[in-house]
Structure formats: structure tokens, C-alpha cells
Amino acid sequence: MRLLSSRAALLGATLLSGALAVVGGTVAAQAKTLVYCSEGSPEGFDAALYSTNSTWDASSETVYDRLTEFKAGTTEIVPGLAESWTISDDNLEYVLKLREGVQFQKTDYFTPSRAFNADDVLFSYNRQIDKTSPWYNYTGMGNWEMFDAMEMGKIVKEIVKVDDHTVKFVLNQPDASLLAKLALNFGVILSAEYAAQLEKSGNQLDLDHKPVGTGPFVFNAYQQDAVIRFAANPDYWGGKPKIDTLIFAITVDSTTRMQRLKAGECQIAPYPAPADVEGLKADPSLTVVEQPGLNVAYMSYNTLVAPFDKVEVRKALNMAINRQAIVDSIYQGFGQVAQTGVPPTMWSYNGAIKGPVYDPELAKKMLDEAGVKDLNMKIWAMPVARPYMPNARRTAEMMQADLAQVGVKVEIVSYEWGEYLKKSRDKARDGAVILGATSDNGDPDNMLSFFFVCSAIGSSNMSNWCYKPVDDLLQQGRITSDATKRKEIYEKAQEYIDEQAPWLPIAHSTVVLPMSKKVKNYVMEPLGSHRFKNVDLDE
């Protein structure tokens, strides 16, 4: 067994020394501390700005709440900060009754003077809609990735404060999945009072660095790329969590995460390497849960850059890559070859699509016919394991070897995770990027619009691909309430995407999560998040 690095050992000691947790300003010798060995650092703590589960787990699922929520372990919509709602007959007005008496968290840097109300809803959403707002571009990032990918700015005409505890969403067009969209991570509700305090003091960036929400855990501290500390929110409207202190021990390397789990340095550790799963199952101190993921791993070409602007070139490159060999080697029984961006377990999956057939001879001929010779290209490989992709570097190496057989020279590049995500969104990006996603709400609109809607070019549309027939279908799917018709719409969209090949779908994975047998009440989420508000620990 490989020894832990000195940094890992030091952090482990730090975590153990933190067992006497500081809760509510006092030392609690018997306090329950849950350590989660997370796979990556958060990009920030304003969840609406980002689109990765590693960021959302450390922000949206801990500090914040949304108007609607997903019932634990399902994609069923249940009340959140909105306790009820009514919908007009024309499906253009949603009136939401807000939960009363919900308190914002008290921290060292903010003391709320009032409870949650409609002003907080308007602030949280309008900052993403109104380009003249001082909060629209407060970080300099220039977009709200998930909000924009779901085209909420087009869907929502206005949000009206009816009274302190009632808001009305007025739509430009019906949207069959609006309540599910409100449960997405861009819908986190922030304190308008805290934002006003930061704006007045000139410290707007603290909204992304020092979060305040109504959620089950209060942010305490973040040591960059090492540790995030949270304390149970004693005033949480859903009841104080059973664990007193929640620690994210950021551990990028999968092997090290599993070593820490076995050593008892953390109680939950996601994304084991497939080769390690059987050994984890054999450990009597651990429980290993698994389920098919609502996810997809892919490689996206930059269709704005030659020769990837030619469909025949993209299709040839796809045919040169042996996806089955990648799935066999990388996923080792915990994945299947992806044919579309919609996973087989999601409604509207088009099972008639078979995807690119591995045929290097034909691929080479197609490249020759397209006038592409001595092609040099870059493939970007993620530096971290994700639920949809256990080992992007090894995947890129296998692609590199396959493409060499058809005369294409590949350079593999990578960056630190946050930088990787930032650079991959650049419309001038040089290279095909390996990434993936897990559905946020179980609706095909969420998956397909995120990847391919025209308005998301330069953001979540990593292929920078705008194809009017697909864009029109996605718009049509939103305003169609008939489930059968929606299914037909999304199936047709998948056919167009397969024909035009702006990307290479790689795999759908089975998600595996090992944890200590001391962990109680943890529910595995089909949407890829990790929630701790109901978790308990045996003494």
C-alpha cells in the first residue's frame, strides 16, 4: 500500500485534532463531527455562478436552500422555502407562498435583522436577469452558467413581490419544467440584507467567499485546496442537523481518499477508482452503495475552430476512437458506452441511436476525403475524478493512441480544476475537452439545453455549436406540456445531435459511494449531489 503524502498526513492530523469541535462558540467534547473527503476544491461559494457538483456540495447543499427542492433520493419536487404554489390556467403565472419565520444564518461577519422574505427571492433571481444590476457581474465572470443554459432570462418576464411572503413568477412562455428549474442550484436564496451590507462596504466579492444562507450548515472557514469547515445551523427551519461539525477534507487523488476512509480519517469518500471497489466492499468497517448515474461523459470539439467546424471531420474522429475499449478499461464494469447525451435511465432516451461505430479504416478515408492531413490537435483531460469519468488522463491517452492510427497527432493538456473549467468555456479554446455532467433535475431539457442550446455558447455549450433545428426543438420542448409530445421532441433532438456530431459521447457510469458503517441516514442522490443535513453518526 502506498503511504500518504506528507501533506495528506498533516491534514489528517489537523482533522483529528479538530475532533473537539467548536460549536456555537463553545467547545463540545462530545460533538459529532462528520468528515467528507471531497474530490475537488470549490470554485467559490455563490452556487449560482458555477456548474460543478464539487462546488455545489460545498455551497448549495450546505449553506443554502431553494424555493423548491428534490425529495431525498428522488427527482420528485417538494416544497422548500416556498411552502406551496398555484399555477394559472394558461401556465404563465406561478404564485408561490413563502415559508414564514425562516432565519438567515448568523455568522462572525453578518447578523441578520429580519427573517427571510420576498425581497430575498427578488434579489437572488434578479441579479441573474438584470444586466444593469451591480450584482450581475460582481465577480467579473460575465455569466450565470446554469441560469443562462436553462434560458431563464428568456422564460421569466418578471418576478413580482405580491407581499412579504408571496412572489409571482410571470413567464413569457409556458415552461413544463419550471418548478424543477427552481430547485436547481442557480435558485439558491441569498440574503438581500447581507448583499446590501457588502455593497455599502465595497466588499461585494465576499458574497462568493463568505456565504450566508438559510441552509442546514453555517460556513465557518475555508483553507484553500485543503479544508472547509461548517457548523450545524441551530436555527435551521427544518430542524438542527444531528452532526455538529461538517468538514470537507479536499483530497483530489482517489487512492488517497480511499486510504483516508479506511483509516477512519473521513467517514464518506466519493468516486473510488473502479479497480478499488471490490476491496472496499470487502472491508468490514465500510458500506458501499451504488446506483446507475443520470450522467454522461463526453469529449466536445470546438466547432468554431477549423477543421472541427466540418461535420465530416468530427464524425471521422469519432469513428477512430474505440469507446468500448475505453469503457472496459476505465470503468471496469461500472459504466456503459453512451450513444446520446440522455442516459438510458432518463425518460426520452432514444434507444434507436447507436452512435459512432469504431472503424479506423473508414475514419482515415473520411479524413483524406475532407482534405485533412497531418492533423495536430489537443485533447484536454480533467485533473480530477468525477462521477461520470474516473480517469480522464488515461481516457485521453487511449484516444491519443487510437487517433495516431489514423494519422492524427494528439497532445494531452490539463490544468488545475478551476482553471480547467474556466478555460474550457473560452470560445477560442484550442482543443477538444473531456468533461461530463449529471442531470440536475431528471428532465431531458436540463441535459440537452445545458449542452447544446445556442445561447449557452461560451458557457456550458462546450462544443460552441449552434444548430437551429436542435435549438428550435429545445425551445418547443419547454412550452409543450403533453408528455408524449415532449418525448418525441427530445428523441428527435438526439437524432440531429448524432447526425451532426459536435461531440463524442463516451459513457454513462454507475456511481459508487463508500462510507463508514458508523454513518446513518445517508441517502444517495440520483442527481449527483451529496447532502448531509439528515446524516447521523453512531457513537
- Is it the case that residue 1 has pLDDT exceeding 90? no
Residue 71, CA atoms < 13 Å, CB-side half-sphere: 5
Residue 104: what residue type?
Answer: F
pLDDT score for 440: 83
Dist. CA 57–CA 367, nearest whole Å = 43
pLDDT in tens, 72-90: 999 899 999 999 999 999 9
H/E segment holding residue 379: strand 376-380
Q: Which of 76, 70, 304, 268 lies closest to 187, judged by CA?
A: 70
- Is it the case that residue 16 has pLDDT exceeding 80? no
- Is it the case that residue 7 has pLDDT exceeding 60? no
Domain boundaries, the chain: 1-60+215-267+518-539, 64-210, 295-510
Dist. CA 499–CA 278, nearest whole Å = 39
Dist. CA 379–CA 99, nearest whole Å = 48
Report percent pLDDT > 70 for the chain.
94
The DSSP bridge partners found for residue 519 are 537
- Is it the case that residue 28 has pLDDT exceeding 70? no
Least confident piece of the model among 22-31, 120-129, 310-319, 332-341: 22-31
pLDDT in tens, 373-419: 999 999 999 999 988 999 999 999 999 999 999 999 999 999 999 89
Q: Which residues contact 253 (CB under 8 A, 6 or more apart)?
A: none
* Assigned fold of 1-60+215-267+518-539: D-Maltodextrin-Binding Protein; domain 2 (3.40.190)
pLDDT score for 20: 34
pLDDT score for 394: 98
Average pLDDT over residues 225-238: 97
pLDDT score for 538: 93
pLDDT score for 17: 43
pLDDT score for 273: 94
DSSP state of 508: E
Domain 64-210: top CATH class: alpha beta
- Is it the case that residue 276 has pLDDT exceeding 50? yes
Average pLDDT over residues 309-334: 97
pLDDT score for 442: 86
Q: Name the region of 442 (left: φ>0; alpha: ψ -120 to 50; beta: rest).
A: left
Q: Which residues contact 344 (CB under 8 A, 6 or more apart)?
A: 292, 336, 351, 508
Average pLDDT over residues 422-445: 93
- Is it the case that residue 261 has pLDDT exceeding 80? yes
The DSSP bridge partners found for residue 221 are 229
pLDDT bracket for residue 15 (50, 70, 90): very low
- Is it the case that residue 21 has pLDDT exceeding 90? no
Average pLDDT over residues 463-482: 95
pLDDT bracket for residue 441 (50, 70, 90): confident
CB-CB contact of 536 with 523 (8 Å):
no
Angle, CA 129 vertex, CA 125 and CA 132 arms, to 5°: 120
* Assigned fold of 295-510: Dipeptide-binding Protein; domain 3 (3.10.105)
Q: What does residue 377 show for φ and ψ, rounded to 5 degrees? A: -140, 160
Dist. CA 215–CA 60, nearest whole Å = 8
